[in-house]
Structure 1
C-alpha cells in the first residue's frame, strides 16, 4: 500500500481483529505491544480513514465486525472496503487476473484496492464526505 497509504493496523486473526478494530475506531486503541499482530505501523495517533477486510471474511464475519465497530463507537465514522472474491474468480477465469493462490494475487488485489480507494475519494490529502458507514467491494 505504501507509499500512497499508511496501513496502521493489519489483523490476520479474524476473532482478534473483530475485538481490536472496534477499539481502534472508537479511539480506545489497545497498546500496540498487546495487539495480536505487529504488521502495520500501529500508530494510532492519526484517526483511521477506512477499514479494509480481506477475502477471509464471510458475510457473517463481516457483519459481526461492522456491528462491533458501530457499537464501540456509537456510529460508523469510516467506509469499509471488502475484497470481492467472486470478482477475483471471474477475472482469473477470463484470463484477466491472477487466481487467489498465485504469487501475482497480492499485487493485483492491492491495485484493485487502491483504484477503489481513489474512486471513492479515500486518497492522501482528501477528506471524503458521505462515505462513512458505506461498504465498497474491490
Structure 2
C-alpha cells in the first residue's frame, strides 16, 4: 500500500482493538474505534465527513487524527447484519454514502479461537483485502467487501 490508509475499527473490546490497531501498522492508521453499533451510527458519519465525532466520556483508543476522512470502516465479526446496517445506514445522507469501503469479516472462512492467533489471522485478512481494494481502485468509494 502506498501511504498509510486511514481506518475506523468496529470491535467489541479495547484490548482486542489495541491489538488490531498495532497489527494494522504501518499500512493503516486506526483513527477511531467504536464498541457498539449505536456509537458507530453516531460517530462514523462525522468521521466520513472529515470532522471529529461528537465528544463522549469514553476515551477512544484510535489516534484521534481526524484531519482527513477514513478510507475504510473495518467491522469485526461480533456485528451481525442488523448492527452493520445500523452503522452503514447512518451514512446514507452523505455524498456517496460517505465514500468509504466497508469491510466485514467473512464468517464462512475458518478462524482460530479467540486469542492472539485469532487477532493475527483477522488482521492479515484485513490487510490483504485493503491491498486488493487499493490495487483495484476501490478505496475512496462506497462498497461492502468481505475479508
TM-score, reference length from structure 2: 0.73
Aligned to 1:48: 70
Q: Give me the CA root mean square deviation.
A: 2.3
Moved over 6 A (4+): none
Structure 2: stretches of 5+ with no match in the other structure:
1-23
Measured in 2, the distance between the counterparts of 1:34 and 1:69 equals 20
In terms of fraction of residues, the more strand-rich structure is 2
**Secondary structure, aligned partner of 1:81:** strand
Alignment of 1:1-138 (within 5 A): 1-30=24-53, 34=56, 36-71=58-93, 73-76=94-97, 77-87=99-109, 91=110, 97-99=111-113, 101-121=114-134, 128-129=137-138, 132-138=141-147
- Please report how far the alpha carbon of residue 129 of structure 1 lies from its aligned counterpart in structure 2 after TM superposition: 4.5
Size of the aligned set, in residue pairs, is 123
Q: Which structure has the larger Rg? A: 1
Note if contact 1:10-1:37 (Cα within 8 Å) is conserved in structure 2: no
